[in-house]
């Protein structure tokens, strides 16, 4: 099995790289500089040259606020390039593992979103990811899967955990939104799931599954736990989202229902607090 991971310098791509040594597949990790997914011909040549059998697309435009001003860039990466990758995978009969987000939902639900719940993104990033999903579903690439995940963090890349650790060391207090609720996801856990369970995924159609760590919290709860685990003296105050204006709106409730994934793949997912503790220990040991 030859597996191509695009966007490999991001959070998920880096976690996959760390863990890939324990599998029997041969991996090809490509950064944006090595393989730009908007260059379809280059992607096709790579797939053919290296006899790729599975493509894990970790490349994405993930700057949620910036996307509002850079709509073309977000749509090019999260929609148009994804559509063309889907077409390639279908043509070359390759399995595609693609990632999407809780931000495809509008956040007005009061119970966890299922893979079948209607999408209605409240920001451009969410819209661009939804269009990417739609394109893949329409193409219906066999043996392919879209995994929606949420609030991803890792020792790699940029994320809320690292931002809070920085602010925790710099500030005496910070305000954090307490009325937006979701489930944090440690990219290491998601990478383990993909490598242990999905490399030989079979299905006649393109399927959507939800993966996030177990448990639910607000950004405020998440920040509090980050401060506690890192022994930061910084005090976290809860505020409503209306008091923290951002360029892009965020859903108020974006909890993903992971029951289909747990049932179909017979996996257990770690609780968010345990995984957060693990990640913070790793960051502290690396410092
Ligand atoms: N981060 C999160 O909280 C969440 C992420 N997701 C989804 O999970 C997936 C992985 O996310 P995550 O690992 O956090 O994302 P990151 O932003 O950490 O990584 C994305 C990577 O894609 C690279 N990239 C950008 N443009 C291109 C291009 N044209 N060709 C190839 N690579 C490119 C980026 O490079 P560079 O940095 O140099 O631009 C970066 O290394 C994405 O699909 C994302 O939408 C879903 C829910 C939550
Ligand atoms: C830094 C900061 C943020 N916040 C709020 C703003 C926002 O409502 C919330 C999260 O802010 P961030 O910008 O860090 O996170 P955001 O970029 O919205 O994170 C999202 O990224 C994309 C890629 C996804 O797919 C989503 O699942 C989700 O993880 O925290 C505060 O309240 N206080 C603060 O000091």
Q: Give the residue-averaged pLDDT of 194-220.
A: 95
> How big, in percent rounded to 5, are the helix, strand and coil portions of the chain?
45, 20, 35
Q: Which atom of ligand 2 is nearest to the CA of 152?
A: 29
CA of 175 to the centre of ligand 2 (A): 13
Name the nearest CA neighbour of 251 among 126, 161, 154: 126
Q: Which atom of ligand 2 is nearest to the CA of 177?
A: 32
Q: Which atom of ligand 1 is nearest to the CA of 77?
A: 29
Checking if the pLDDT of 246 tops 90, the result is yes
* Whole-complex ipTM: 0.99
Name the nearest CA neighbour of 211 among 103, 133, 101: 101
Q: What does the mean pLDDT of the chain come to? A: 97
Q: Which atom of ligand 2 is nearest to the CA of 62?
A: 23
Q: Ligand 1 in contact with 11 (CB < 6 A)?
A: yes
Q: Which atom of ligand 1 is nearest to the CA of 99?
A: 43
Smallest-distance ligand from the CA of 73 = 1
CA distance 220 to 175: 8
- What confidence category does residue 32 fall into, taking pLDDT thresholds of 50, 70 and 90? very high
Q: Ligand 1 in contact with 101 (CB < 6 A)?
A: yes
Q: Give the residue-averaged pLDDT of 197-220.
A: 94
Smallest-distance ligand from the CA of 46 = 1
Checking if the pLDDT of 107 tops 90, the result is yes
Q: Give the residue-averaged pLDDT of 223-241.
A: 97
Q: Give the residue-averaged pLDDT of 165-184.
A: 98
| pTM of the model as a whole | 0.98
Q: Give the residue-averaged pLDDT of 194-214.
A: 94
- What confidence category does residue 260 fall into, taking pLDDT thresholds of 50, 70 and 90? very high
User: Given 125, 153, 186, 252, which residue is catalytic?
Assistant: 125
Angle, helix 124-139 to helix 81-92, in steps of 10 degrees: 20
Residue nearest to atom 28 of ligand 2 (CA): 151
Residue 12 is predicted with a pLDDT of: 98
- What confidence category does residue 53 fall into, taking pLDDT thresholds of 50, 70 and 90? very high
HSE toward the beta carbon, residue 215, CA cutoff 13 A: 16
**pLDDT for 128-143, tens place per residue?**
999 999 999 999 999 9
- What confidence category does residue 80 fall into, taking pLDDT thresholds of 50, 70 and 90? very high
2-158+185-213+256-271 is a CATH 3.40.50.720 domain: yes
Delimit the domains of the chain by residue range: 2-158+185-213+256-271
- What confidence category does residue 79 fall into, taking pLDDT thresholds of 50, 70 and 90? very high
Residue 22 is predicted with a pLDDT of: 84
What values do phi and psi take at 124, rounded to 5? -70, -40
Residue 287 is predicted with a pLDDT of: 78
CA of 177 to the centre of ligand 1 (A): 24
CA of 211 to the centre of ligand 1 (A): 17
Q: Give the residue-averaged pLDDT of 191-195.
A: 97
Name the nearest CA neighbour of 129 among 86, 96, 84, 80: 80
Residue 5 is predicted with a pLDDT of: 98
Checking if the pLDDT of 93 tops 90, the result is yes
Pocket residues for ligand 2 (CB within 6 Å)?
62, 64, 101-103, 150-152, 160, 163, 174-177, 180, 219, 241, 244, 246, 250
CA distance 133 to 284: 36
CA of 10 to the centre of ligand 1 (A): 5
Instruction: Give the mutation target among 40, 55, 58 for probing the ligand 1 site: most ligand atoms within 8 A of CB.
Output: 58
Instruction: Give the mutation target among 106, 151, 227 for probing the ligand 2 site: most ligand atoms within 8 A of CB.
Output: 151
209 is catalytic: no
How many beta carbons lie within 10 A of that of residue 37, not counting itself? 23
CA of 169 to the centre of ligand 2 (A): 19
CA of 243 to the centre of ligand 1 (A): 28
């Amino acid at each position: 099995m030859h597996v191509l991971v695009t966007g490999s310098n991001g959070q998920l791509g880096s976690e996959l790289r760390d863990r890939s040594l324990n599998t029997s597949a041969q991996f090809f990790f490509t950064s944006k500089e090595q393989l730009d997914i908007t260059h379809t011909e280059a992607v096709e040549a790579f797939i053919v040259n290296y006899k790729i059998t599975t493509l894990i697309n970790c490349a994405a435009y993930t700057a949620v606020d910036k996307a509002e001003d850079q709509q073309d860039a977000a749509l090019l990466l999260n929609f148009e390039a994804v559509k063309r990758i889907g077409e390639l995978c279908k043509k070359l009969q390759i399995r595609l593992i693609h990632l999407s987000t809780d931000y495809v939902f509008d956040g007005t639900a009061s119970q966890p979103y299922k893979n079948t719940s209607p999408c209605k993104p409240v920001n451009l990033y969410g819209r661009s990811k939804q269009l990417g999903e739609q394109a893949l579903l329409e193409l219906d690439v066999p043996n392919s899967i879209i995994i929606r995940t949420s609030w991803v963090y890792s020792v790699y890349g940029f994320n809320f955990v690292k931002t809070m650790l920085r602010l925790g060391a710099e500030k005496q207090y910070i305000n954090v939104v307490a009325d937006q609720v979701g489930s944090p996801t440690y990219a290491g856990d998601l990478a383990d799931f993909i490598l242990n369970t999905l490399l030989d995924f079979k299905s006649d159609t393109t399927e959507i599954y939800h993966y996030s760590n177990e448990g639910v919290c607000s950004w405020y709860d998440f920040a509090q736990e980050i401060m506690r685990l890192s022994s930061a003296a910084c005090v976290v105050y809860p505020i409503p989202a209306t008091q923290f204006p951002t360029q892009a709106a965020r859903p108020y409730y974006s909890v993903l229902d992971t029951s289909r994934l747990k049932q179909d793949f017979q996996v257990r997912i770690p609780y968010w607090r345990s995984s957060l503790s693990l990640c913070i220990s790793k960051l502290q040991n690396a410092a």
